[in-house]
Amino acid sequence: MSEPVFNEITAAGYHQIEQEIEDWKLQRPALIKALAEASALGDRSENAEYTSAKRDLRHLESRLHFLTKQLQYSKIVAPTDNQIVEIGKYVTLEFVDDHDQVAYQIVGKQEADIKVNKISLASPLGSVLMGKTVNDTVTVQAPTTSYQVKILAVTLKD
């Protein structure tokens, strides 16, 4: 039997999932109560409240199951204090074509969020940056084009 495959994640990302699980668990009693109250109204075949409450509870249980599996197959990775790009580190880049600069944090797949400059280590950009260091220039193969970025800084904090 083969070893399970674990998804690398930052400690902050792991704790964020744990918090989301706790938040969902706090909602469960109210949803169960709403389902019981709707059930008491009688005929379930034409009971919109019952159908809605059942759907909401099923969504909660599904989300809890999904998040629990995410934690079960996650491995927290702590970045080392060096200039090498790895999960958890902040990387300042310069796009070679227009000299625009941007900083990203390299994170696990489940915690990526481009709106807050967190990119997945498995994304086209994240995957080519992994293992590289300051002053390296890499070529990123995006779905419709390719571009080059130069690594200006690699730090533990932004």
pLDDT at 5: 80
pLDDT digits (tens, 9 = 90+) for 2-40: 667 889 999 999 999 999 999 999 999 999 999 998 888
pTM: 0.80
Which positions of the chain have pLDDT values less than 50? none
Whether residue 63 sits in one domain with residue 29: yes
CATH code assigned at 138? 3.10.50.30
Q: Phi-psi category of 155—alpha, beta or left, where left has phi over 0 and alpha has psi -120 to 50?
A: beta
CA 17, distance to chain mean position in Å, is 9
User: Which domain, by its residues, includes 123?
Assistant: 90-155
pLDDT at 154: 96
pLDDT at 2: 65
pLDDT at 48: 85
Whether residue 66 sits in one domain with residue 13: yes
Whether residue 148 sits in one domain with residue 101: yes
Q: Which two tokens stand for residue 34?
A: 């709403």
Between the CA of residue 13 and those of 63, 100, 112, 150, what are the distances in Å? 17, 28, 9, 27
104 within domain boundaries: yes
